[in-house]
Structure formats: structure tokens, C-alpha cells
Structure 1
Amino acid sequence: MLTVNHFLQLAPFKTFKLVAGANGLENDITGVNILDNPNASDWLSAGELLITSGYFFSENTEIQKRFIQRFKEINCSAICIKPHIYLKGIPQSMRDLANELALPIIEIPYGIAFSKIMNIVMGEISGRMNERNQASLAIHSQFFEISLHGGGMKKIAASLAKMVQNPIVLIDSDWSVIACNDNKHPLIQETIKKIGNTFTFPIEIFTDLPINFERIKKPITRPFFFAEKEYPCVIVPVYFDTVHYGFILVVQIERPLIDFDYIALENGSMAFALEQIRLFEIERTENRIRRDFFDHLLSGQIKDLDALATYDTPIDPTLNYTVLILSLQKSGIQTDSLMKKKQAEDRIMKSLLSSLTSYTANRFPHLHLFSRKNQLVLLLGTDPKSSAFKTHNELSDTAERIRMYLEQQGPAEREFFCTIGSTLPILELAQSFEEAKKVIQLLENDSKEEKIYFFDDVYFDSFLVDSISKEQGKKFYTHYLDMLLTYDLENKTNFTLTLKAYLAHHLNIATTSRALFIHRNTLLYRIKKIKMLLPVVLDQEKNTFALQLALRLYDLHH
């Protein structure tokens, strides 16, 4: 392996001068890079010999110190600086910090071309590549054995931690912790947050991560504070075939990473991705099997109990069942790309299905679930001898507990709402499923301030939609409300909403004004204007019902 000491002894570099960091002369050089861009430090790799004119840190002592610190965090082998152009000399503050960090600083004589240094160093390194290739092959074999025998994420984390001799944390693309190996240092207890049944790594501790930095597809290094000390943390994005599966985090508590450690991380990231693919495929297959059975059941294809018995399912035919559909209302995903949003939502639903299956297993023994797009479909079994009131309360309680659990598994802005069909014998469950879907359809344009909706609560609306065509409905509400709607539109008033509230409170001025938070006289003025805009006498009972129906049809079609 080419070391900094060997580099300085090469004939072309005899005139190079070591000015600081003599304790780092045995650092291995695994590559060479020219750096004259302050934003390019994330593209550096461990073991690289850096060549620079010092242009981007020539005028500021604090910037000089910050970059020296960053180069050490990355574990660069040495820094070769050509002064006299932008730096009149290598500042003492830089030398002092380099001595403290054992990071060699080498002064390049004036007139030596950067390209010459690169060519000679790369020529020396190429002669030492066989050792590196042998190490890479051995590491690859270890991870291949883990993948072949289904060792899982814990085994991958343990093997990586042993190879790099530092704590390892494996994290998915949403920064949920998959596995952690930190036997000597309790990172999981000190740093990782628990949200519901999920452990999440606090990404906010890395204050200067580039936007979408995972697209760089290479390790970057950031400071990590643990036990009141700062340690370099290497963050490795895990990709396979353009799909981002997560990150490997290495906190360099025991020792800095060397070139062979990055070989281990590269092979470990491949094992990570393949294990994720394997787990996703198993889960997808299991969910497809469940979904196929439930599709047959919920479409009415299973006609009798003998046919039901042919399926290997824990469904209890002696119970009544109810379909609950939990729909993802707000995902908390921040992206303008529809494709990326769908991919992220698919990952969310897979993760939620897995965690919800574990959560409900012992708490709700007669509950069965599967996923469909951005929905979770649940079948809840209840005692057919229970009263309607008791069954309703059990359904409400179960739906709310599950809804809250799902929302606690992610960011605060993630929201679900639940629709619930009728409770029926198992062979009639297709009706319950259609009812739960119908509620979703009726709520399409609703703000969904409530989070749980029973089909019975919207039965009247369902009847209207099924019985009155869109054309007939529009003709009906136009007959009663056309002048009022036009007046609101042209004058930017809200008389239609006032009429709805007035009818809902049975034409009571006092309760309507309180509900609308307006003065009684204001309401009287509005009612007077509304009466002038309606084609019927507002106070007659047959007309109040017709107006309520017109308002409901208007809402259903807008």
C-alpha cells in the first residue's frame, strides 16, 4: 500500500516539504483528487491525497480550520497545497490543527503541475491494486454467504460492524431503523427516537445535509455528537437498479475508516439492498395471496361455506363481519413528482401493512387485513349475538385505535380516515365492502374533518346518488337555487351557506346566528335577501324540505 511517507520518498517529490501532521505519515493513499471548489468536499473519498491551490480558503482562518476538520472526518490521507498563488504561505493555524489531527500538510514547490502529481501517484497505486482486489473478493464472499442463507439485516449489521470496527446503523429510505449493532455504545437508547412501534433515526442532527443528497450515491461524512463528543459519521446511500433502499451509518467512535472499510461498506450496501428486495418480495407475495382470497370473498365469488372451507384462512364463519377501509388522506410526502410520490406511498403502505399486522395480531384476534393501493382493507369479526349498539361501539373503538396507531408511525402531517360498511354474515360481506367504498366515493370532495364514517351515516346521500341521475339532480337544485347561487357568485356573498344553516336549525334565528357567529340583525338581513332570491316561500314546510334536498344535491355534485 502506498503511504504518505512512501509518496514523499519518490524521486519526483523529493523537493516536496512536509510542514505539518508528521504523525500521519503512515496514512495509506488509495487515490488522488484535485480540490479547488468549496462545494465538492462531499465527492471526496477516504484515503485520497488532496491537491489544491488553497483558493477557496485563502482569506478566512475559520474556513481553513473547517476544511481541515472536514478532510480529517473524511479520512483523507494528506493535503498537498501549492502556496505563493493564493496563499502567501501555509498559515500557522492550519499547521497547528493538522498536527493535532495527524493530517499531513505537504507544500508543493512552485512550478510543479498538478497533473504530474496525479499521474505518478495513480501509477504507483495501480501496482498495488491486487491486494485491494483480493480483500474485496473476500468481503464479497462473506456477504454472499449471509444473503444465501437468509442471515437478515441484523447479521448484515453485525458483520459490517465487525469489519469496520465501529457502530453500524441500517436505516430505510424514511430514516426508520432496520438494524443496529452498537454493542459498546448504546446509540439506540441515546439517539434513536421511538414513534409508536417504529424506531426512527433523527436526521435533523445532521444540520448541513445537501438537498436530495442520497442521489450522490456515494458516502458523505458529517459530525455526530455522542456522549458530549463529536465523531465523524459516514452516511452511505444504498441503491440498487436506481431504487433507493436506505442508508448505512457508520459512527467512527473506535477508529477512522480506511480504504478496506469502504470496500466492506460497498459490499454491505449491496447485501442490504438484496435483503430489502427479498423481504419486499416475500411481503408482496403474501399480500397477493391474502388479497386474491379477499377479492374472491368481497366480490361475492364464494357462494357457500363449503367453498369457503377450501381456502386456508383463519376466517371464522360463525361470526358476523364488517369491512373497514383505512385510506391515506395526507401522506406527508414533499415532492412535485407524481412517480416519486407513488413510489413513496407504496413504500409507506408496505411498511404500515407489516407493522399493523404485528400490532393487531394479539390485540384483535378476529381482524384480518390486506392492502390495496393507498388503502388498508380490514375485516373485523364480531359476535352475531351482540346488540347493534355494542357492535357499533366496538367498530368505532377498533377503527379509532388503528387509525391513531397508523398516524403515529410517521410524520405529524400523515392522516388516515376510515369508512365502515354494514355488519353482515361472512357470505354477504361483498355488500359491506361495496358500502365502505361507496362512503369513500361520497366523501371525495369532503374536507373529512371527521375521521370515521359509517355507511349508515351517509345512507340518505347514497340513496340520492343511486336514485337521481346527475342531470336530474342538477335540474332539481337549479330550479330552487339558481338565483341564489348566481347572486353569491356575482357579489361574493355566502347566502347559500346561510340558508343551509338556517334550515339545519329549523328556521330558528337565535340558534342559527350563534352557529354562524353573526349578530341576530345580520342574520335577519340575510334571510330577507334570501327570501327575495328563492322561487318558493321559505317558511312553508314542503318548501323547506325541497330546499334542503336541493342543497344536498348541489353538494353531492360539486
Structure 2
Amino acid sequence: MKYPPLTLGWFLYETPIDNLEFIGEDEALHKTITGISVLDNPDGVKWIKKNEIVLTTGYIFYNDFEIQKKIIADLHAIDCTAFCIKVKRFFDRIPDSLIEEAAKYGLALVSVPFYHGYSNIINIVNENLIEQKILRQQFILKEAEKFHESFFNKEGIMKMLERISNYTNSMTMITTTSDFPIYYCIPPKEYGDFSQIHKLQVQPLNSLPEKTPKEHSRKCNFYCNDTLL
């Protein structure tokens, strides 16, 4: 099972943070949130990471359009998820000049009422991020236990391959060190492609990329009958 990531849409419409105003294209609502930062000086952008939402009062660029432009461009370059600006502090509303500049880059803006404290917003986001991490770890432990049970109950290697194939939704294979296939499992999405084949012939492609000294893993292409994987 994959737990859905937190998105800008979740932040806007599924949290107790009320009266947020979204300014941007609907596509931005699907952008993921992996963290949250506060921007209180123009040089602070360098500490912001991709897919974070950024909070500010706007004081650092109040009445300075050049700084506004630079910050918008920098946040776009970092690929932050949204720029959240408090209103009724230094701005009565997000100025049109800032909205127009953000629109050039497709950067989502969020107008945040002044009465929402930073600590409250940060706690809500971080608590949900932590909860997702816990759920993922619980899932990993549960599935690892299923693998152990398959092994000790002697259910066979094919059962294990089937589990992996279900996770990745792709064909899984065990080969010798010389890339000769021993076992493989086809996921349901591939059934139609291979349903008319009585015996699947899997052969490795002879031309392999060279391994670099620091790289111990490599890619290997295989042919399934006439289909290159």
C-alpha cells in the first residue's frame, strides 16, 4: 500500500487552518509537501528545500519590488510548493505586482490570515508528515513479516516474487550472476501482452553498459520473446 503524499490541496482544504486563499493554477494543488520553512530575510532562500511550503509576513520585501522579484525567482528555482504570505500585517492583501510576478513562473501563492500563528501552521504540517512516516514504517515492518512467513512456511520463491511484483507493478526476475533467468513473475497489468504465449522465453541482452569503479550495480536489458524490457 502507498500512502498518498501531503499536497498543497490538502494544506488548503483539509486542515483546520481556515480562510486560506489560493492564488495560482489548479495543477499546483497536486504538488507535494515535504516540509515547511519560514522566510524572514532575503538570504534565507538558500536554506529552503524543494517541495516545501514557505511562510512569511512579507516584511523583508515590503515596498521593495526588486526584492519581491528576486525572491519569487529564487523560490521558483528551488521548486518550492507554495509561497504563503500573511495579510493584515504589512500587506492588506497580496499586491497585484507580486501576483503577476508569481504567475510568470507558475509559483503558487497562498494568502494567510494574520491570526494564524507560525507555530500552529508548522505543527499541523509536521505532525502529518511524521504520521505518514510512521505509517510507512509500520507498512514496511508488516510486509517484511509476510516475507519471513513465506520463507519459514516454505511457500516458495514464486510467492515472494509475486509480492515484489505487486509492490512495483512490474515484472520481477531472479537470475544467475551471468544474467540467466531462473525465476520471473509477470504482474497483472502485463497479462494481456503475454496471455497468448505458451512459454515465455527470457534472454539477456549481450551488450551491457560498462561498470564504473565506484558503481557496483548496473542495468541489464532482457528480451521477453521479441519484446525488449
Query: TM-score w.r.t. structure 2 length?
Result: 0.56
Q: Does 1:20 align with 2:20?
A: no
Structure 1 gaps, min length 5:
135-149, 160-558
1:114 aligned residue? 118
| Cα separation, 2, equivalents of 1:100 and 1:28 | 21
Question: Which residue of 3, 12, 17 corresponds with 1:8?
Answer: 12
What amino acid is aligned across from residue 152 of structure 1 in structure 2? Answer: P
Identical positions, percent: 30
Structure 1 runs (4+) deviating above 4 angstroms are 130-134
Higher helix share: 1
What amino acid is aligned across from residue 31 of structure 2 in structure 1? Answer: N
Q: Does 1:100 align with 2:104?
A: yes
1:429-482 alpha-carbon deviations (Å, 9 max, x no partner): xxxxxxxxxxxxxxxxxxxxxxxxxxxxxxxxxxxxxxxxxxxxxxxxxxxxxx
1:30 aligned residue? 34
1:386-408 alpha-carbon deviations (Å, 9 max, x no partner): xxxxxxxxxxxxxxxxxxxxxxx
Question: Which residue of 78, 83, 103 corresponds with 2:82?
Answer: 78
| Cα separation, 1, equivalents of 2:83 and 2:25 | 10
What amino acid is aligned across from residue 65 of structure 2 in structure 1? Answer: T
Paired residues, what number?
143
1:43-101 alpha-carbon deviations (Å, 9 max, x no partner): 11111111110111111112111101111111111111102222232121221232332
Question: Which residue of 202, 209, 213 corresponds with 1:152?
Answer: 213
Residue 107 of structure 1: how far off its partner (Å): 0.6
* Equivalence map 1:131-280=2 (5 Å): 151-152=212-213, 155=215
Structure 2 gaps, min length 5:
141-210, 220-229
| Cα separation, 1, equivalents of 2:48 and 2:136 | 19
Report if the CA contact (8 A) 1:72-1:101 is conserved. yes
| Cα separation, 1, equivalents of 2:20 and 2:114 | 10
Report if the CA contact (8 A) 2:88-2:113 is conserved. no
Residue 15 of structure 1: how far off its partner (Å): 1.2
1:57 aligned residue? 61
Report if the CA contact (8 A) 1:83-1:90 is conserved. yes
Higher relative contact order (CA 8 A, sep 6+): 2
Residue 131 of structure 1: how far off its partner (Å): 7.8
Residue 111 of structure 1: how far off its partner (Å): 1.1
1:90 aligned residue? 94
| Cα separation, 2, equivalents of 1:32 and 1:94 | 21
Query: TM-score w.r.t. structure 1 length?
Result: 0.24
| Cα separation, 2, equivalents of 1:14 and 1:52 | 17
| Cα separation, 1, equivalents of 2:24 and 2:64 | 19
* The structure with more radius of gyration: 1
Q: 1:132 to 1:33 in 2, by over 3 A?
A: farther
Q: 1:99 to 1:132 in 2, by over 3 A?
A: farther
